Structure 1
Amino acid sequence: MARKKGMLKDSHKTYRIVDLFAGAGGLTLGFTQMLGHVFTPVWADDFNLYAAGTYNANFGEHCTTDD
């Protein structure tokens, strides 16, 4: 069965995403920009303190730098 383009964008459901090795948040940005706010970032992790700081400035304070 073929899915219609943009079907997720018009969805009434919301999906939570986690971003591992998040960097500045490219994956999160792609999901939220291209597919709308159907996707809500809830947790992210990166080993680089500066990258995590940039992620948190852009998407909220949920990126950690823990092992």
Structure 2
Amino acid sequence: MYNSHIGKQSSRKSPIWKNLQGTPRQPTNVECGYYVMRFMRDIIHDLALAFEKKFDKKKEPVVYT
């Protein structure tokens, strides 16, 4: 962002964002911290980076307990 602001070309590619429709939804507004931390934990522990398939919208929704 800074490089583009000052007009300098960057050698990095732009990130590709994907919306994962099957990500766990929190039931109320008070569990947000737990859901964010649990989701981050799932991504970090997934060494094969297959979490995209885990949260595929075609499967049953994932629920954290």
Q: Is TM (by shorter chain) over 0.5? A: no
Q: Return the structure number with greater relative CO, CA threshold 8 A, min gap 6.
A: 2
Which protein has the larger Cα radius of gyration, Structure 1 or Structure 2?
A: 2
TM-score range, shorter chain: under 0.3
After TM superposition, the score normalised by the length of structure 1 is 0.20
